[in-house]
Chain A
């Protein structure tokens, strides 16, 4: 009995091995990363030419798929998009997973392309994992416009960026330098280590620190990741302050991180001693700005971002733009926008919030 058992299990294992090998049928010879260099791309053939002066079609079905649905930031974006879709007399839907796994978003993309949505407005959880399903959706006639967080440029028609990445980085380091008087150690509390946006901004900050003489006396001593979780960000802030006794300031380029760090500083002996700035929403940060924990922070308007994304999506679906550089379209009250390199459309410069203006905003 036991012998047969063992043999059978071995048979299983080898069957499994065989099957995984069968996956290789499509390719012959060893497939390594090197032999793969020239792969990728594809799919982004400039379709029809843009009809720049064209009208928006009415009756478009436009769906917004955020990173996750239980996030106030995307709720605000959705409001903007819904308003824009209302203007365009289209049908609007807001749907998505409750967790931030890339695989969950794939199911929702498949569902939307099944439902033959004309436009998907997507904030991607992973730059690559969504590509194949996006390609299928586009092949079935759905236009894909990403906003907030991009995918590989070959898998979407256009990307609506909240701001010029370089400008965010420069604004962040400028605010920090102002608050610590131009010298001292600083640290960064980011979201996850592979968050595309945050890493791009951090790269700009590092470059500025290295090359801009204004920041010659500012030193970046650590970058930690709070994974966009309150508790984790809290702990990482504690760790930063303990590991770096000379620390003067923290930059947190993520709305969850800055709120958690502010909350920690507010209840600790470091309140007022450590400068904190970054990207946060006025509603989250109002408390901390009023009691002096935080002097100034920045963000763009997520509602306007959603609105612009909806107009851009409708423009693609109506053939007004194709996503090629130089195409222009009018996004309702937001005005006229031009598509930049790689199909990127930029909303505008970030807004800075401080005690003087924070009460003018509600998001």
Chain B
């Protein structure tokens, strides 16, 4: 159900997510401390290559990590396997990637 490649993809994406999660939380705390408005935040993120790369990588790592993790949970608790399990994992990953990137583009373009 989980081979070496999926295992490594999930572990490596977790390692990528650790600093990005901390950075994300730090930014959120910073943003609310000074009472930044949505317009002010968008003013800083729109057109920023750094914020685009930061959150695009974050979304990619989350999509990989969560879809593989849900694959394990769904297999072990609901018994989904074979082609249905592959389809579930890919659909979950693509849904997270699509909606995530859409959000990233919305605040950085």
Q: Do chains A and B interact in one complex?
A: no
A binding-site residues for B, Cβ under 8 Å: none
Report B's interface with A, CB cutoff 8 A: none
